[in-house]
Amino acid sequence: MKNTRPLTFGLRWRLPATTAVIAGLLAWSETTTTAAPQGGPVDITAYDLTIDYQPGESLLRGSAMITATAGTALDEITLRLRGPEASAVTVNGMAARSFVQNGDENLAISPAKRIAGGTAFRIRVDYEGKPGDGWLPTESGGASAFEGDASAWFPVGDDQDKAEFRLTATAPAGWSVVAVGREERSTEPNTFQWHETEVAPAHLAVSIDRFTVERTTLADGTPVVHAYAPGLRDKAKPLADRTPQILDFLTGRYGPYPFSSAGNVFVHVNEDGPGTSPQTRPVYLGAGSKYMDLLQVVHEQAHQWYGVSAAHRSPEDACLSECFASHSTWMWEESIDGVDLDARFRDIVNARKTDAAFWQNALYKPGERPGFAAYDRGPLALHALHKQIGDEAFGSLLRQWAQQNHQQFVSWPQFEQLAEQISGRDLDGFFQAWFRGTTVPADAYLWPGGSKP
C-alpha cells in the first residue's frame, strides 16, 4: 500500500499494489536435508478456517484446522500469525505441549508427541483479537485483508505452498463476507462459505462489508460473484458487467481461464487504494475513486493468468506479473478501441529516449524488484519483444507461458528461455537491452522489426 502511487503516462493507470513479499517466508523451525514433499519439511495440504468478525470492534475470532504432511520427524512446528492471539492449540486432537507466539509473527508449536516423518497430521489453532497489518478498514466500516497478508487473519505456513482452502465466516446481520473460490450456500443465518481446491496463501483475500452481492455465470457455467460495498454499485457495476467480455478477450490471448470461479470485489479503503488480484476475484481497494476505470479491471483480471496461476517466485521476477498485466491493457485497447500500438510505442520511445531516469531500473535484476518500471516500461518492452519475434511467435509465447505454468511459481529466466525456444532465435542481446539493461537500448533493439519512425 505504501508503495503505490497513481502513474500518469499518456493514460492514467491505477498502480496495483506491489505483490506481496514472498521470498524466504518458510518459517518451519526444523531444517533437514531429507527429501521432503513439496521441497520442505512440512507440506500443508488444507486450511479449513472458521471465523467470526465483529466490524464495530474490529474483533476477529477464529479457529483454523490445518492438515499437513511431515517430511521429517517434527518436535516443533512454526506457523505465522500477526495480530490475533492463539488461545488453544491441538495437534492430532491432543493439546500441544506448548505454543509460543513471539513479538513478530511466529507461532511456535510443540506437539505433545513427536510427529513421525512421512505422516499426515492436523493442527487446530483457536485465536482471537484485532487482525494485524494488512487488514484494511474500509470507509463503510468493513475490512479487506490485503492479498499476501494472510498471517494478519489466520495462522499460515509457507505463502507459496498451495493448499485446499475452505472458509466459513459469520458476521452481524446486514454484513457479508466474500473470499476467493466458489461460494457454497450455508443454511445458517449470516454465514458465508467459500471453497477453493488449490490456492497459495499469497493469493488469498477476504473482505467484509455491507455488500450488495450479485451472482451470474460465464457462458461455460463458471460462477461469477460481484460484491459492491455501499455507494459503489452505480460506478462499479458497468465495469463488472464487462467481465465476460474481458475474460473472453484474455482467454483468446492466454488460453483457458485458469480457475473455476470468477468475479470482482469493490471496496473503498481510500481514494488511492490500488487494485489487487487475489485468486479468482480481484479486489479494488479504491473502487469508486476517480482513478478506477475499465483498464484497471482488465489489468487485474489479466493477473489471473499472469501473476496468480503462473505466479512470480521472488520479488525480482515481478515483471512476470506486472509487465504482462500492464501489457494486457495495451492489447485490449488495440483490440477494443483501435489504438495503434506501434504509434504509441514510437511516441513513448521518442519522448523518453534521452530521459535517463526512465530507463534506470532494470525490469529484471537478481536481488532487486523492478518497481514502477514494470508498469510503465514493461508494456513497452513487451511490445518491442512482439516486434522482435513477430505475431505468430509472440502470440504462441503468451499462451504457452500461461498454460505450461498453470498453478506454478516461476522465474524470469524461464521466460527468456521459452521465448528463445518458441521463436527459434538467440534473444540474449534483446533481453539484455530491454529487460536487464539500465540505459536506453541501442538502436538495433530500440526499433525492432522495422518499427523505427
Residues binding Zn ion (CB under 5 A) = 16, 322, 325
Least distance between Zn ion and beta carbon 299 (Å):
6
| Core vs surface per residue 417-440: b (16+ CB within 10 A) or e | ebbbebbeeebeebbebbbebeeb
Q: Tell me whether residue 240 is exposed, middle or buried, using C-beta atoms within 10 angstroms of its C-beta: 0 to 12, 13 to 18, 19 or more.
A: buried
Between 232 and 325, name the residue whose CB sits nearer to Zn ion: 325
The grid coordinates of residue 297 equal 479491471
Task: Give the whole-angstrom CA distance, residue 433 versus residue 445.
Answer: 7
Considering the complex, state which of residue 163 and residue 402 has its C-beta at the smaller distance from Zn ion.
402
Asked if residues 270 and 4 have their Cβ atoms less than 8 Å apart, the reply is no
- Residue number with CB closer to Zn ion (90 or 277): 277
Residue 45 beta carbon to Zn ion: minimum distance, rounded to whole angstroms: 29
Q: What does the alpha-carbon distance between residue 264 and residue 216 come to, in Å, rounded to a whole number?
A: 12
Residue closer to Zn ion (CB basis): 101 or 309: 309
In the complex, which residue's CB is closest to Zn ion? 16
Give, rounded to a whole angstrom, the gap between the first and last alpha carbons of the chain. 39
Residue nearer to Zn ion on the CB measure, 125 or 323: 323
Comparison of 16 and 286: residue with beta carbon closer to Zn ion: 16
The minimum distance between CB 157 and Zn ion, in angstroms, equals 25
- Nearest distance, CB of residue 203 and Zn ion, angstroms: 13
Kindly tell me which of 175 and 305 has the beta carbon lying closer to Zn ion: 305
**Do the beta carbons of residue 150 and residue 86 sit within 8 Å?**
no
* Closest approach of Zn ion to the CB of residue 277, in Å: 6
* Smallest distance, Zn ion to C-beta of residue 297, A: 12
Shortest CA distance to 214 belongs to which of 176, 170, 172, 259? Answer: 176
Instruction: Give Cα separations from 284 to 9, 55, 274, 288, 452 (angstroms).
Output: 21, 19, 6, 9, 38
Report the 10 Å Cβ neighbour count for 386: 24
- CA 156, CA 62: separation in Å to the nearest integer? 13
Q: Which three cell numbers stand for residue 302?
A: 489479466
Q: Shortest distance, CB of residue 64 to Zn ion, whole angstroms?
A: 29
| Sign for the pseudo-dihedral over CA of 116, 118, 119, 125 | positive
> How many other CB atoms are found less than 10 A from the CB of residue 376?
20
Q: How far is the CB of 300 from Zn ion (least distance, A)?
A: 7
Q: Hey, which bits of 37-152 come out as E strands?
A: 42-54, 59-70, 77-80, 85-91, 94-95, 98-101, 106-110, 120-129, 135-137, 143-145
Complex with Zn ion: residue 43 or 322, whichever CB lies closer? 322
Question: Least Å distance between CB 130 and Zn ion?
Answer: 29
Nearer to Zn ion, 105 or 322 (CB): 322
